[in-house]
Amino acid sequence: MKQSRRSFIKGGIAGAISGAGLPLYGSEASESLPPTPNETEGPFYPVQAQKDKDFDLTLIEGSSQSAAGNHIYVEGIVVDTAMNPVEDVTIELWQANAAGRYRHPHDTNPAPIDPHFQGWAIVPSGAKGDFRFKTVLPGAYAVSGRWLRPPHIHFKVSKRGYEELVTQMYFPGNELNEVDRLLQRKTQEEQSAMISAKIKDAPETYQYRIVIQPV
Ligand SMILES: [Fe+2]
């Protein structure tokens, strides 16, 4: 029997996330999902013009050398709060390089800038709300005193007719998640929604669901 799109979303993405050992965010029986929790944009939102903002952050156009670090894929889906896929969403993402350094004038972290790491991308969601990008596993970095931010990727997600979402995606199993001052302000359910699921070792691939709400 052909599955409806809605049951595909529930059985596919939600099923895969629960299959990866993460608690399910929202129940499979429910017909709606809470929007992905907001998180601060932080001080390192890109401010310098950059020509190459494509989905492969490990390779800057025109360069023959790829970014240092552990190359990973992130694949996901954008749905609305009624669990319908949302196409043509603008997904902007930025992150630290593998050493924990942003390419940003205000980042005073002594870790080196990686000239081969793109650091910033803008990708659209496809017809089924799907998106995919290749990047490096971001490094942890010190904010102040003993606060080390766990590896994370910043997102700004927008489409006309929907509330803009600014959030951060985390990685499963990182012990810094347990003590992060931002992530730990969230409820368990919210944390589950913000932590991606690892679905493949080679190539290392993480799955992430973004839920946006109509205005
Ligand atoms: Fe950050």
Tens digits of residue pLDDT in 88-135: 999 999 999 999 999 999 999 999 999 999 999 999 999 999 999 999
Query: Which residues have their alpha-adjacent CB atom under 5 A from ion ligand 1?
Result: 42
Q: What is the pLDDT of residues 10-28, one digit of tens each?
A: 444 444 443 333 333 445 5
Report pLDDT digits (tens) over 41-64: 999 999 988 889 999 999 999 999
- CATH for the stretch 5-212: 2.60.130.10
Catalytic residue check, 152? yes
The Å distance, Cα 94 to ligand 1 centre, comes to 8
Query: How would you class 18 by CB atoms within 10 Å of its CB: exposed for 0-12, middle for 13-18, buried for 19 or more?
Result: middle
Q: Is 113 exposed, middle or buried (0-12, 13-18, 19+ CB in 10 A)?
A: middle
**pLDDT higher than 80, residue 7:** no
Q: What is the CA radius of gyration of the chain?
A: 17
Q: In angstroms, what is the span from residue 194 Cα to ligand 1's centroid?
A: 14
At 192, give phi and psi (nearest 5°). Answer: -60, -35
Q: How far apart are CA 60 and CA 47, in angstroms?
A: 18
Q: Domain-by-domain residue ranges, the chain? A: 5-212
Is 102 a known active-site residue? yes
pLDDT value of position 29: 58
